[in-house]
Structure 1
Amino acid sequence: MSTHDTTVNEAGKRHKHEGPKKHIIAFIFSILLTVIAFSMVAAGEMNSTFVYIMLVFMAILQVIIQMSFWMHMKDRGHIFPIIGILMGVFVVITIVVMAEYWAWW
Structure 2
Amino acid sequence: MASNHSASEEQTRRHKVEGPQKHIVAFVLSLALTIIAFAAVAAGDINTNFTYFILVLMAIIQVFVQLAFWMHMKDRGHLFPIICIIAGVFVVCAMIITALFWVWW
Q: TM-score w.r.t. structure 2 length?
A: 0.86
- Identify the structure with bigger relative contact order (alpha carbons < 8 Å, sequence gap 6+): 2
1:18 Cα deviation from its structure 2 partner: 2.1
- 1:77-96, Cα deviation, whole Å (9 max, x unpaired): 00000000000000011111
- Structure 1 residue identity aligned to 2:22: K
Specify the SS of the correspondent of 1:72: coil
Counterpart CA distance in 2 for 1:47 and 1:104 is: 28
Alignment match, 1:95: 95
Matched, 1:16 2:16: yes
Matched, 1:27 2:27: yes
Specify the SS of the correspondent of 2:72: coil
Counterpart CA distance in 2 for 1:29 and 1:12 is: 31
Structure 2, unmatched stretches of 5+, are: 1-7
Q: Indicate the larger mover: 68-77 or 42-51.
A: 42-51
* Structure with the higher strand share, 1 or 2: 1
Alignment of 1:1-105 (within 5 A): 8=8, 12=11, 14=13, 15-105=15-105
The size of the alignment, in residue pairs, is: 97
Counterpart CA distance in 1 for 2:12 and 2:19 is: 18
* Structure with the higher helix share, 1 or 2: 2
1:98 Cα deviation from its structure 2 partner: 1.1
Counterpart CA distance in 2 for 1:12 and 1:80 is: 21
Specify the SS of the correspondent of 1:74: coil
Alignment match, 1:4: none
Bigger-Rg structure (1/2):
2
Alignment match, 2:4: none
- 1:43-64, Cα deviation, whole Å (9 max, x unpaired): 1211111111111111010000
Structure 1, unmatched stretches of 5+, are: 1-7
